[in-house]
Chains A and B, each alone.
Chain A
Amino acid sequence: MATPLVVSEVFKSFTMHLRDGIKLPVVNDVNFSVASGECVVLGGPSGIGKSSILKMLYGNYAVDAGQILVDHKDRLVDIAGADPRTILDVRRHTMGYVSQFLRTVPRVAALDVVAEPLVARGVEAPEAREKASGLLAKLNLPRELWSLPPATFSGGEQQRVNIARGFITSHRILLLDEPTASLDAVNRRVVVEMIAKKKREGVALLGIFHDEEVREAVADRVLDVSQFSPRKAVAA
């Protein structure tokens, strides 16, 4: 089975220059990989570095040492050392990300927020909107909201827009940061079904799910992030 994502010996810390340069270690020696068609769930208590790992993979956080290898357009890209242009190309074509919160842009309609990743890949706007409509309908977002900017939506409505935006493309790798946190039971089940479909399509998924029921339903294995925690190393 193909393995589009390999994380190898990754270290991450924050240096707080405004706090006398204190160094906060986040994770040490992170090693794992995700295969096509597999959903790996990052486990462990809050503050252990789960979201930080996703942000490093997506290029939002820099990496102190190690490699994050992504199979991008039939070549290996190391996100840890890639230039911004390459990271943006990886985001456009290979790696998607559903963040915890939607970063809203004033005046852009929910439907266009969802369609945008497809348009960025060169799909014509009507076709992209068509697909966006399908996803928003599946996620039970009331139709009268589609043409409104999501800034004023409730938490759960924004999250569904965010999920639709993350799932609209056929990226080979998908990172999910608590996509079901503020959803009701019905919509949680919709998301579980969408994840299952991605798995059948051979997408490699890596996610954080605090909801036990969802985790049980989607995880092929749980990766305990506390094994990478520098705090544990100090205590031991």
Chain B
Amino acid sequence: MPIDKESLAMTDTPLLKVSGVSKFYGNRIGCKDVSFELWPGEVLAIVGESGSGKTTLLNCLSTRLMPTAGSVEYRMRDGNFRDLYHMSEAERRFLMRTDWGFVHQNPADGLRMTVSAGANVGERLMAIGDRHYGRIRETASDWLARVEIGTDRIDDQPRAFSGGMRQRLQIARNLVTGPRLVFMDEPTGGLDVSVQARLLDLVRGLVNDLGLSAIVVTHDLAVARLLSHRMMVMKDGHVIEHGLTDRVLDDPREPYTQLLVSSILQV
């Protein structure tokens, strides 16, 4: 699988430009004045404890939640930037189905539990116009193998899958259309540690091989260390620290980040 040459060449154009994004729930702050750029091939982790605003931010970035203020611009495949909130609903949906992926913490939110594993993967292909049954099934089967689900399970429904398998199926469903940007909300939350390790390794390999950009929300700093290049720490809706993942974890500057890092249990 070729590496995305774009990310190696250090292109001077970001994929996503976020400026001044805020979301208020009445008087309460969801997230406030968040600005950053995401580059091709880059994995950004958003960390912070429950209620810090990280999922609100993720939802604002992925058009699942309308921000109160600010703009999110995305570089389309034709090279032009479009403001996501000035697109039509139909255009946004098309983007989400083709060029983006969204991996939910709970696989049941991202899968159709009552159709087969193969159909879960094939559905996204059909959404972009593929109609050839044999080819769809072949691609689906190929992707199941890549996420380490036996191809003999292709006709089973995800209801019959374990938590870890469901999560891997959700990842296959998202990556089958060759997205350029994937959002992940606590992708390893709720899984046993051994299952987590397998999933993380899989995600890490796929992100490297495909040269994807990703924004990963997690409260687990080990996940952030393993997957991300860059890290944003959130507290009370604000980004309080932002930098190279190694730097933020090895030399945290802000009191809250120091508290987070020093709270990790050593094994």
Could you list which residues of chain A lie within 8 angstroms of chain B, going by C-beta atoms? Answer: 14-18, 55, 59-62, 84-85, 87-89, 92, 105-108, 119-122
Please state if A84 and B230 are interface contacts (CB–CB under 8 Å): yes
Please state if B8 and A17 are interface contacts (CB–CB under 8 Å): no
B contact patch SS: helix
Decide if B49 is an interface residue (CB 8 Å cutoff): no
Could you list which residues of chain B lie within 8 angstroms of chain A, going by C-beta atoms? Answer: 3, 5, 8, 10, 39, 42, 197-198, 200-201, 204, 208, 226, 229-230, 243-247, 250-251, 253-255, 258-259, 262
Contacts of B10 in A (CB 8 A): 85, 89
Contacts of A105 in B (CB 8 A): 201, 204, 226
Please state if B201 and A88 are interface contacts (CB–CB under 8 Å): no
In the bound assembly, the distance between CA atoms of A92 and B3 in angstroms comes to: 14
In the bound assembly, the distance between CA atoms of A105 and B223 in angstroms comes to: 11
Residue of A nearest to B242 (CB): A84
22 contacts between A and B (CB under 8 A): A14-B251, A17-B254, A17-B255, A17-B258, A18-B255, A18-B259, A55-B250, A59-B247, A60-B250, A61-B250, A61-B251, A62-B251, A84-B229, A84-B230, A85-B10, A85-B229, A85-B230, A89-B10, A106-B201, A107-B197, A122-B3, A122-B5
In the bound assembly, the distance between CA atoms of A145 and B161 in angstroms comes to: 34
Please state if A88 and B247 are interface contacts (CB–CB under 8 Å): no
CB distance from A86 to the nearest CB of B (A): 8
Contacts of A122 in B (CB 8 A): 3, 5, 8
Contacts of B204 in A (CB 8 A): 105
Q: Which of B8, B229, B251, B258 has the most chain A CB atoms inside 10 A of its CB?
A: B251
Q: Which of B8, B197, B208, B226 has the most chain A CB atoms inside 10 A of its CB?
A: B8
In the bound assembly, the distance between CA atoms of A122 and B246 in angstroms comes to: 23
In the bound assembly, the distance between CA atoms of A62 and B249 in angstroms comes to: 11
Q: Which of A55, A87, A88, A107 has the most chain B CB atoms inside 10 A of its CB?
A: A88
In the bound assembly, the distance between CA atoms of A16 and B229 in angstroms comes to: 25
Contacts of A15 in B (CB 8 A): 253
Contacts of B230 in A (CB 8 A): 84-85
Q: Which of A61, A62, A92, A108 has the most chain B CB atoms inside 10 A of its CB?
A: A62
CB distance from A41 to the nearest CB of B (A): 23
Contacts of B243 in A (CB 8 A): 62, 84
CB distance from A122 to the nearest CB of B (A): 5
Residue of A nearest to B39 (CB): A85
Contacts of A119 in B (CB 8 A): 3, 208
Please state if B258 and A107 are interface contacts (CB–CB under 8 Å): no
Please state if B200 and A106 are interface contacts (CB–CB under 8 Å): yes
- Of B8, B247, B254, the contact of A61 (CB 8 Å cutoff): B247
Residue of B nearest to A18 (CB): B258
Contacts of B250 in A (CB 8 A): 55, 60-61
Contacts of B3 in A (CB 8 A): 119-120, 122
Contacts of A61 in B (CB 8 A): 247, 250-251
In the bound assembly, the distance between CA atoms of A18 and B42 in angstroms comes to: 32
Q: Which of B229, B246, B253 has the most chain A CB atoms inside 10 A of its CB?
A: B246
CB distance from B266 to the nearest CB of A (A): 13
Please state if B201 and A62 are interface contacts (CB–CB under 8 Å): no
Please state if A85 and B42 are interface contacts (CB–CB under 8 Å): yes
Known: A84-B229, A108-B201. A62 touches B258 (CB 8 A): no
Please state if B251 and A60 are interface contacts (CB–CB under 8 Å): yes
Please state if A88 and B255 are interface contacts (CB–CB under 8 Å): no
Contacts of B201 in A (CB 8 A): 105-108
Please state if A107 and B198 are interface contacts (CB–CB under 8 Å): yes
Contacts of B208 in A (CB 8 A): 119-120
- Of B5, B229, B254, B258, the contact of A88 (CB 8 Å cutoff): B229
Contacts of B258 in A (CB 8 A): 16-18
Residue of A nearest to B246 (CB): A60
Residue of B nearest to A61 (CB): B251
